[in-house]
Copies of this chain bind each other. A is one copy, B any other.
């Protein structure tokens, strides 16, 4: 693999020395970019994902514009579910909406195993195009079982997660079977991306932070760990990320994880203390900071880098996805500032 592609992102993930701090942004390919809006228009996002040339171009746009140190595949965590025939629509400004939510054991039958090659051939095809085009590593990704289950059971985005937690507590056996089925789908989906050439993977345990530590540990962690363990032979760094997961960081940072994503609520030195040595951390600027004037943003970028100074490895990122109203010029300057200030 050419030297430029391996570079600082993968080294930081492995707690190896780097020339400067690598940086990329969750949801860097998205509505904040005018070239994204021009290319996507009002078209269906799932149709764009299923079009390899288009998905590759959307993946490349932020790499060109921002000079980030990694690309992330343009996709969505519900893609493997759509690929096996679950009726899902992604509603603009709301998120994924499930036609028939999952509530009973009979619904398990709708979760047949994924065969990425035949069910979603466009994913590997997009990755293959990108590995030829990209000068930086490509991050593949998938949703972790609880996050996928949240959408399936709630029927869409939720604030209270009452239904999925209700299922977890009232029918733990069914809940575990649901998570196991989703874990298999996630593993197959991620493996297809790695086999096609993805250099790293990020696993989105996005809504795990809605759970108490006890519930995460007992009901959810086993399925997340099984996904991570199944990918241990893949040889690529595994990033494990969720929002509001301050109390779960040690549980999310098991032996099968190279990088732990940290949201902006937890100062990085605190996160490192909870996680212990030998792991890289990814984060953790509040995405809302990027709506402020540049002088403010710069100060906060420097604060995050100062806090990261003692870490074994650090990948700069936001604590969650880029907000659609973000000015791309600010993100360009964030990348410059990280590279300048982070230089060893």
Binding site for B on A (CB under 8 A): 160-162, 165-166, 169-170, 209, 211-215, 244, 246-247, 264-267, 270, 286-289, 291-293, 296, 303, 319, 323, 325
Partner pick for A267 among B211, B213, B325, CB 8 A cutoff: B213
Partner pick for A160 among B209, B266, B288, CB 8 A cutoff: B288
Asked if A265 and B292 make an inter-chain contact with CB atoms under 8 angstroms apart, the answer reads: no
Asked if A162 and B247 make an inter-chain contact with CB atoms under 8 angstroms apart, the answer reads: no
- With both beta carbons as reference points, the residue of chain B lying nearest to A293 in the complex is identified as B170
The number of times this chain is found in the oligomer is 2
Sample of 4 more A-B contacts, CB < 8 Å, known A166-B288, A170-B291, A214-B267: A165-B286, A212-B265, A214-B303, A247-B270
Residues of B within 8 A of A213 (CB): 265-267
Asked if B323 and A291 make an inter-chain contact with CB atoms under 8 angstroms apart, the answer reads: no
* Nearest chain B CB to A225 CB, angstrom units: 20
Given contacts A169-B296, A289-B169, contact A265 B209 (CB under 8 A): yes
Partner pick for A170 among B212, B267, B296, CB 8 A cutoff: B296
Asked if B292 and A169 make an inter-chain contact with CB atoms under 8 angstroms apart, the answer reads: yes
Asked if B212 and A264 make an inter-chain contact with CB atoms under 8 angstroms apart, the answer reads: yes
Q: Is the interface of A mostly helix, strand, loop or mixed?
A: helix
Residues of B within 8 A of A161 (CB): 288
* Nearest chain B CB to A149 CB, angstrom units: 14
Given contacts A170-B296, A209-B265, A214-B267, contact A291 B325 (CB under 8 A): no
* Nearest chain B CB to A56 CB, angstrom units: 29
Residues of B within 8 A of A212 (CB): 264-265, 267, 286, 319
Asked if B160 and A292 make an inter-chain contact with CB atoms under 8 angstroms apart, the answer reads: no
- With both beta carbons as reference points, the residue of chain B lying nearest to A166 in the complex is identified as B291
Partner pick for A265 among B166, B169, B247, CB 8 A cutoff: B247
Asked if A160 and B265 make an inter-chain contact with CB atoms under 8 angstroms apart, the answer reads: no
Partner pick for A292 among B170, B264, B288, B293, CB 8 A cutoff: B170
Residues of B within 8 A of A169 (CB): 288-289, 291-293, 296
- With both beta carbons as reference points, the residue of chain B lying nearest to A319 in the complex is identified as B212
Residues of B within 8 A of A166 (CB): 288, 291-292
* Nearest chain B CB to A242 CB, angstrom units: 12
Closest 4 CB pairs of A and B: A169-B292, A165-B288, A166-B291, A212-B264
* Nearest chain B CB to A146 CB, angstrom units: 13
A212 CA to B267 CA, complexed, in Å: 8
Residues of B within 8 A of A293 (CB): 169-170
* Nearest chain B CB to A172 CB, angstrom units: 9
A161 CA to B264 CA, complexed, in Å: 13
Asked if B165 and A289 make an inter-chain contact with CB atoms under 8 angstroms apart, the answer reads: yes
Asked if A266 and B288 make an inter-chain contact with CB atoms under 8 angstroms apart, the answer reads: no
